[in-house]
């Protein structure tokens, strides 16, 4: 894996693949911990024999890149400045002229405008993925963003939408013909994420064997709304006498909300009941330390963390936003609740305290649901079918030989 920094205007040599794999350039804002990025990494790791992948970051890349297994992967960082940065269009255009990919695949609104440089660079196949709502437009109501998507529609050959609400938005609000939209769910690696009870990674003395551990994973940012989860946890402990002896909360992730979250816990005098684990690379093992998973987001596409928790055999309490209702079967694999409602969240969590058999029942149902509908094989098969169809139709190319049985999970 090689990382190239393009804050200058150098042009890399054309990418030539010895095995004649089609070259796909994935354009994202930043390669960091997140659901979009996790889905991209999963796709690359399971199709590296079929395609030569390249990642182009408008901003930069982090250690998250170490999760990628493609040995000849190239990551280009364009170092976009805050706000408007017109030079970024020129840098991307020069870069694409140099590497000459067969496909450019942009993701989310932050990368949408890069379809212009891709078209000017003569990239023959241009795909845009919509993974979830922008942080400044959690309900998809911003008319400027709708206008921006309509403006770029003629440049894009194919759209990928990760949830039904996004499919409907693109059709009804942006005017994209349904035939140009492919609905593909995220997939989860059911071998890496699997049911197992293991609390060895928890801090010494934090929890006992019979503790009931509530957990969450995500960036600590306003759109993820861990404030509601912390408020609900405080509410839950206060309403159930003696629950401070066994209720625990694990918060995995890092971000701007952390000081406020820690302050709420300190004010409630519950610091010994909550572990802020920070950003972690061992999420699959930490999920196995939990009994219940909560996703309190204000907006979501198709959440990787929900799928990972379900694959681990955990019941999930999630807000009824975005694609969450497509994942969580209410009362069967968890509970769906209104967003930003600490009381409703505390009520749902109390159901598990009062009837702990629900944890095992809903957790087993969650695992079955993932295996039946959201396995990584299905996701990879749909992406490869789409890529191969476009390559054949527009370029007459055949993909590198590949067997679907080789996909794990």
Q: What is the mean predicted confidence (pLDDT) over 272-276?
A: 98
Domains in the chain, CATH or no CATH each: 2-187+375-406 (3.40.50.2000), 212-373 (3.40.50.2000)
Q: Would you say residue 317 has pLDDT above 80? A: yes
Residue 33, token pair as written in the block? 């911990």
Rounded Cα gap, residues 45 and 251, in angstroms: 27
pLDDT band (50, 70, 90) for residue 396: confident
DSSP string, 173-209: II---GGGEEE----B-TTTS------TTSPTTS--T
Length of the chain: 409
Of 2-11, 56-65, 300-309, 341-350, the one with minimum mean pLDDT is: 2-11
Cβ neighbours of residue 340 closer than 8 Å, sequence gap 6 or more = 225, 228, 298, 319
Give the Cα separation of 150 and 148 in Å (integer): 5
Residue 405 — very low, low, confident or very high, per pLDDT cuts 50/70/90?
very low
Distance CA 238, CA 48 (A): 51
Confidence check: pLDDT of 134 > 90: no
Q: Are strands 316-319 and 247-252 parallel, antiparallel or unpaired?
A: unpaired
- Residue 402 pLDDT: 47
pTM metric for this prediction: 0.84
Give 217's strand partners.
252
Alpha carbon distance 14, 407 (integer Å) = 29
Q: Concatenate the DSSP letters of all residues of 119-159 into one string.
A: HHTT-SEEEEEE-S--TT-TTS--HHHHHHHHHHGGG-SEE
Contact present, 146 and 166 (Cβ < 8 Å) = no
The pLDDT value recorded for residue 403 is: 46
pLDDT of 334 reads 98
Q: What is the pLDDT of residue 20?
A: 85
Confidence of residue 14 (pLDDT cuts 50, 70, 90): low
pLDDT tens digits for range 215-246: 999 999 999 999 999 999 999 999 999 999 99
- pLDDT, tens digit (0-9, with 9 covering 90-100), for 183-207: 999 999 999 999 999 999 999 999 9
């Amino acid at each position: 894996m090689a990382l190239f920094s393009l804050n200058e205007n150098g042009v890399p040599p054309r990418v030539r693949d010895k095995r004649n794999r089609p070259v796909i350039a994935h354009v994202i804002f930043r390669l960091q911990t997140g659901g979009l990025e996790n889905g991209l990494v999963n796709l690359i790791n399971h199709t590296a024999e079929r395609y030569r992948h390249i990642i182009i970051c408008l901003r930069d890349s982090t250690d998250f890149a170490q999760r990628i297994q493609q040995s000849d992967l190239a990551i280009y960082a364009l170092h976009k400045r805050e706000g408007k940065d017109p030079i970024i269009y020129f840098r991307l255009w020069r870069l694409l002229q140099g590497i000459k990919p067969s496909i450019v695949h942009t993701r989310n609104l932050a990368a949408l405008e890069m379809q212009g440089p891709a078209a000017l660079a003569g990239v023959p196949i241009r795909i845009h993925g919509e993974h979830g709502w922008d942080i400044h437009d959690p309900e998809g109501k911003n008319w400027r963003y709708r206008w921006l998507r309509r403006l770029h529609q003629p440049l894009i050959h194919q759209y990928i939408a990760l949830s039904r609400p996004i499919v409907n938005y693109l059709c009804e609000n942006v005017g994209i013909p349904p035939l140009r939209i492919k609905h593909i769910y995220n997939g989860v690696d059911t071998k890496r994420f699997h049911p197992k009870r293991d609390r060895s990674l928890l801090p010494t003395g934090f929890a006992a064997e019979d503790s009931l551990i509530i957990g969450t994973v995500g960036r600590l940012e306003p759109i993820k709304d861990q404030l509601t989860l912390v408020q609900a946890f405080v509410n839950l402990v206060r309403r159930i006498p003696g629950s401070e002896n066994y209720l625990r909360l694990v918060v995995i992730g890092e971000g701007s909300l952390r000081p406020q979250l820690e302050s709420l816990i300190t004010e409630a005098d519950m610091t010994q009941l909550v572990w802020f684990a920070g950003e972690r690379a061992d999420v699959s093992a930490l999920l196995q330390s939990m009994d219940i998973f909560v996703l309190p987001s204000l907006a979501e596409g198709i959440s990787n963390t929900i799928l990972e928790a379900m694959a681990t055999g955990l019941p999930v309490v999630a807000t009824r936003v975005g694609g969450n209702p497509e994942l969580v079967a209410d009362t069967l694999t968890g509970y769906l609740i209104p967003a930003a409602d600490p009381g409703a969240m505390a009520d749902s969590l109390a159901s598990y305290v009062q009837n702990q058999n629900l944890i095992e029942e809903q957790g087993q149902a969650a695992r079955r649901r993932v295996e039946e509908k959201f396995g990584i094989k299905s996701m990879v098969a749909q992406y490869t079918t789409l890529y191969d169809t476009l390559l054949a139709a527009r370029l007459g190319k055949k993909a590198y030989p590949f067997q679907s049985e080789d996909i794990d999970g």
